[in-house]
Structure formats: structure tokens, C-alpha cells
Structure 1
Amino acid sequence: MTEQSKTTNAAPRRFVFVLVEGFTLLSFAGAVDALRIANRATGRRLYDWTIMGEGGQTATSSAGPSFKLDGDLGELRRDDTVIICSGVDVQTHCSQKLLNWLRREARRGVQVAGLCTAAHVIAKAGLLNDKRATIHWENHDSFSEAFDEVELTKRIFVIDGNIMTAAGGTSSIDLMLKLIADDHGEDVANIVADQQIYTSIRTDRDTQRLSVPTRIGVRHPKLSDVIQKMEANIEEPISPSILASDVGMSTRQLERLFRRYLNRSPKRYYMELRLQKARNLLMQTDMSVINVALACGFSSPSHFSKCYRSHYDTTPYRERGSHAGKSEV
């Protein structure tokens, strides 16, 4: 099939954007604008879209601006593609009404996508069981604890059958460019990317976060290897001696390496990684403090509380309480 024939004599494909309170503005805007530009660049109505949400009135983004909705959650056409847009505090805003509606529409054959944290909504609806998915890296830990039946990846976006997930930020653009290319050819997708000044189109093989060397600002292969092992083994921490042995160093050499490049000991750096995960779980899940401690490699709740207070100047219990208060506002 030629590029020309792929873009003719076809009815517009309709996308239904569902805005959940606290949705991420960048993800939503990037996706919608890709569709707008595809229409403008080709001079044809390749895509239609509508914006829905619970209540059918307005939805407010995490950045502050509110959007007028075209309608409440209603029955869709079977050839629609539903895109759930969510962001901060997705657990709080994931209502039973939304879940029931999503399950019903999925049973009718509607294609479903989720941007940023919306994989949580789709998984909660039971649509990601035994499927591959992705979610914003900041929510990776909490999602893994809540939905162990989902094969969670760190990809930019994932398409598994009739379900699509994108990690948030500009990854929504990558997903839409993929769909545009599938629908109307790569030439059209490339035109859209050029219009968005999007010079490096990523695929579903690309990962979300910067590489370890880029993140820490140090290009030392052995240091990077150790940090990767630390990040992959939070629940059952590996001793510094084993970490050192795995990269062909002595424990003393590893200590010097961390001091030189990161100004802290391997033990301290590892502890900070574990405490960061603990903070994410406290703020994003309803796991008990004891279970959070265990998930982050602390066998004693008292030791966990002591380490947490030393690092964050508050206790795990107060952290959770203060966040819950903010979420209810």
C-alpha cells in the first residue's frame, strides 16, 4: 500500500480523551496537538476528538488550568479510541464510576490507552492483567506493589493488543506519532514531528529515564554497574562487599570510588535509594508503614522510622498523614 493510498477515502478516526482530575497537561496537550497537526498538514480531517470526564463539566490539570468538557462518560462508538489522561494522586481520583465505565466500553471493543499515570486506572479496571504496560517512572514502585499481575516495563510506551500505555511527559507524542504512522504512513508522522519541532522520534524500545551515567553526571562503567544493581535490589539489599566483588573491586576501592564521584559512601547512597522508594510508596499507595519498610529492605519498623526521620526530618507516619491532608484539599 502506498503512502498516498493510506490517507484517502477513510472516515476520520475518533479519539475520546478522558480527563481525570489532576491530569498532566503536557501529556494531554502533546497528544491532541499531534492530531491537530496531522489534519492541518494533510489538508484533510484524518482525526476527530472529543473530551470527556466524570460529571461532564470541567477537569483541572495538575498545572492549574481547567478545561471545559464536551460531556460526561457516555456510550462510545466501537471504533473509538479512548485515551485516559491522569497525573498526580491518581489513586484518589480513580473513581468506581470511571472504572465501571471503562470496563464496559472495553468489553464493547473500544481501544484503550493511558497517558502518564493512567496505567493505574486501566490496571484497576482489570484490563492490564497478564499484559505489558508502562507508567511514569516516579510511580513505578507503587504500581509494581499494587499490580503484580501486570508485566511493568520502563519503556516510553507499550502497545499490547487493544491496550496502550505511555509513560507521560512527551512520550504521548511518541505514541501518537506511532499511531499516525500506522494509520497514514511514516511520511505523515514525520511531517507532524517536524511541525512540533520534535527532532528525535522514540519507539517502544526506548526507555524513560536517562542512563545512570547521565543522571549522576559521571561516566565510570563500574560505578554505573553498581548503582544499577542497587536500583534493582531495593527489597533485598546487597552488601557492599558483594557489590564490589561483582565489578572486580575490593570493598575499599568501591568506597573510594563513591567518595570521589558522589561524595558519600556506597552504604549511604544505597540507603538514600531505599528511602526514596519508601517515600514514593508512602505517598502513592495505602500500604501499611510496616509493609513499606519491608518492601524497601528494612526488617525493623523502628530502624526504618529512625532512618527516615534522619533523612527527611519527619517520620513515615507523619509523611503519610501530611500527604493525605493535601490530597483531600
Structure 2
Amino acid sequence: MSKYDGKGSKNDEARVHRVGFLLIPGFALMSYASAAEPLRAANALSGRTFYRWRHIAIRGTDIQASNGVRIPADDTIGSAARVDSIVVCAGGNPATFSHLPTLSYLRSAARHGVRLIGVSAGPFILAQAGLLDGYRCTIHWEHMPAFTETFPTLPLSRSLFEIDRDRFTCAGGIAALDMMHAMIRIDYGTRLASAVSDWFLQTEVRRGEAAQRLSPAERFGVHHPKLVDTMLRMEKRIERPLAPSDLARLADLSLRQLERLFAQYLGTTIHRRYLQIRLEHARGLLRQSTLAIGEVALATGFATPMHFARCYRRRFGLAPREERTAR
């Protein structure tokens, strides 16, 4: 593969890299744009066509994004020409995606050595096709609870993106810009990748292992270290919640001291905050997985579906079953 020399010169031996954007209905438009626009920039800045791309639909003549924007399809999975990379862009609830021809199309592409890239919820679909077995991968944090429940043996990370041989996975959003910097660097060299990032005003190109979310102190809105550590423990112990006395012991505080911190900084109790964390996790599973409601209850530390449903309705104003059918 040729390298861009940073001076606008051309190497006639360069091979055009053909990219197919497989857009799943309801895909996240920002994730798609963050992955597609760097390819256009690479061509513009190099003065030659390093990348060509087409939009592939699973059916029909156009594909609607999550915000209603429609992108015309150049091909469908049944008629798509050979490409070098496929970028699977998805959103919504990928756990409910069930389209065997799409999974077969991706498996066929993998057998022919096509680079497979999952963006936002795209890694979920690659995993459904069995194409992430044995590969490091990541996915948007919103989809992580459902992903780990559905694919418990896959080595999922919480990073912005993962590149493992010919599998690229990305959390989505603007993180796709960072991943495409890495891809362009692999394909055509560091100078072109840096020029593209500079064009998009990226004053800092984040490495793949960077965290997806704000720091815990920023996310929780508190800066007391023991309180932050306690809430992180709560998030990690959802299925088997720790007792308040155990949380206090692990924080090297008395139960009264820990309760005082929750009241002072959060205006609530340990029990209420823990319940809120578990119910938010349950809401994500209801929206992003196909787990039965009883399974969601067990996965979030509730002894019975009835108790879970009662707490859920009190928190969100609707029953778990209604939450699922409302999406």
C-alpha cells in the first residue's frame, strides 16, 4: 500500500480502497458521518482517490437514520460489489436485529478477507454473525450491559475503539474520527492521517484505549474520593448488590459516616442511590436486549419479578413490560 508523502505528490501504484457502508435502519447519523467524512478528506488532501465508498442497504432503495434523515442506497446486500472494507453502522436496539441474509453477507465477506468495521451498535451485529469470536472488541457504553449478557465470552473493552487484525470496532459518535485516523494511518501513512485530523480541528487524536465516558467525579458530580469509589463499586456489583455495611467497610468508613456523605453530596441515602443505579441498568437491558423480564430482574439484583416491577414503576412511571413495548 502506498504512503502519502505529505507534500501533495501522488504515487501511481496506490490502490483505491473500496469501502461499503452497511447502514442498518435506525443507524446513528453522527457515527456514520464521523466514519465517512475522513475518507472524503483523505482524497481531497492527497489530491487523488485513495478511497471510494458506497452505501449498502439490507433491503429497499434508501436507509433511514435514527433522526429521520434518509440516505440513498447504492446497493443492497444481494447486489453489492466486492469491497475491501465494510463499515456496519447501527443504532437503536441491535439485540432485536434479526436478518439472516445480512449475517450471511457479513460472513461471506469475512471469508473473502474483507476488513470488517463495527461502529456504535455495529459491533453487536458483527457479534451476532459470530465474527468477533477471538477478537478484542468494544461497543458504545449504552449497549455494553446487553452485549455482555448476550455474548459473555467475548473480550469486550470499554475503550473508544479496538483494532485487532482485520476487525475494527468503535464506540461510535465522534470516536469514529479517532478510529478513522488510525485506519488512514495504516492504509496510507501517518502524514495523511494527521492532515485529515488537523482538517477536522482535532487538536488531540485520542488513542483507542482512551475511556468512553467522563471521569467518575465528573459523571457523578462529586469529588469526594471515597464517595466516588463507593459509587463505582455499586456500578460493578449490580447482580449481587453489596450491603451498605459492606460498602462502608470497603471505604474504610463507619456506616454512619458513609450515610452522611451520601446525604451531604447527593441528597439521598445509600439504599436509594444503589436502587437507582440498579434500575437504570435494568432500563438499559430492557431497551437494549431481548432478555426476559424475569432475567432482567435477576441480573439487577431483584429476588422476584414482582418486586422488580413494583420498584421500576415507582421509579419510571411505567411497568417493565410497558417500557419494552414503548421502544
Shorter-chain TM-score bucket reads over 0.9
Corresponding residue for residue 111 of structure 2: 107
The C-alpha deviation readout for 1:50-100, integer Å capped at 9, x for no partner, is 1111125100000111010111114543x6011001111323444111111
Pairing 1:269–2:270 present: no
2:176 maps to 1:175: no
Which residue of 2 is the match for residue 72 of structure 1?
A: 76
Listed one character per residue, the Cα deviations across residues 280-315 of structure 1 (whole Å, up to 9, x for unaligned) are 111222211111000001112221111111111111
Runs of 4+ in structure 1 over 3 Å off: 74-77, 91-94
Matching residue of 2:5: 4
Report if aligned partners of 1:56, 1:71 keep a CA contact under 8 Å in 2.
Answer: no
d(CA) in 2 for partners of 1:159 and 1:224? Answer: 31
Q: 2:64 aligns to what? A: 60
Per the alignment, do residues 19 and 2 of structure 1 end up closer, same or farther by CA in structure 2, a change over 3 Å counting?
A: closer
Residue aligning to 1:89: 93
From 27, 32, 42, the equivalent of 1:38 is: 42
Counterpart amino acid of residue 51 in structure 1: H
Deviation for aligned residue 1:3: 6.0
Cα RMSD of the aligned pairs, angstroms, is 1.8
CA contact (8 A) 2:245 2:255 kept: yes
Give 1:174 deviation, angstroms: 0.8
Unpaired runs of 5+ residues, structure 1, are 324-329
Which of 152, 157, 166 aligns to 1:153? It is: 157
Aligned residue identity for 2:107: R
CA drift at 1:194: 1.4
Q: Are the counterparts in 1 of residues 30 and 173 from structure 2 also a CA contact under 8 Å?
A: yes
Distance 1:180 1:172 in 2: 12
TM-score (norm 2): 0.94
What residue is the counterpart of 2:102 in the other structure?
98
Contact 1:75/1:105 (CA < 8 Å) preserved in 2? no
Task: Give the unaligned 5+ runs of structure 2.
Answer: none
- 2:311 pairs with 1:310: no
The 8 Å contact of residues 17 and 84 in structure 1, kept in 2 or not, is answered as: yes
Please show how residues 158-307 of structure 1 align to structure 2 within 5 Å. Answer: 158-307=162-311
SS class of match (1:214): helix
Letter in 2 for 1:291: E
**Alpha-carbon offset, residue 188 of structure 1:** 1.5
Identity %: 38
Letter of the aligned partner of 2:277 in structure 1? L
Shift of 1:109: 1.2
TM-score by length of 1: 0.93
2:18 pairs, out of 14, 20, 24, with 14
Instruction: Name the aligned partner's letter for residue 76 of structure 2.
Output: D
Whichever residue aligns with residue 141 of structure 1, its letter is P
Q: 3-state DSSP class of the match of 1:226? A: helix
Contact 2:119–2:169, Cα closer than 8 Å, also in 1: yes
- Identify the match of residue 54 of structure 2 among 41, 50, 56: 50
Checking the alignment, whether the CA contact within 8 Å between 1:22 and 1:90 is kept in structure 2 is no
Instruction: Quote the residue 1:117 is aligned against.
Output: 121
Supply the distance in 2 between the matched residues of 1:69 and 1:170 (Cα, whole angstroms): 23
Aligned residues: 322
Relative to structure 1, the CA distance from residue 175 to residue 2 in structure 2 (aligned partners, 3 Å threshold; closer, same or farther) is closer
- Aligned partners of 2:266 and 2:10: how far apart in 1? 53
CA distance, structure 1, for counterparts of residue 233 and residue 128 of structure 2: 30
1:20–1:93 Cα contact (<8 Å) kept: no
State whether residues 118 and 126 of structure 2, in contact with CA within 8 Å, keep that contact through their aligned partners in structure 1: yes
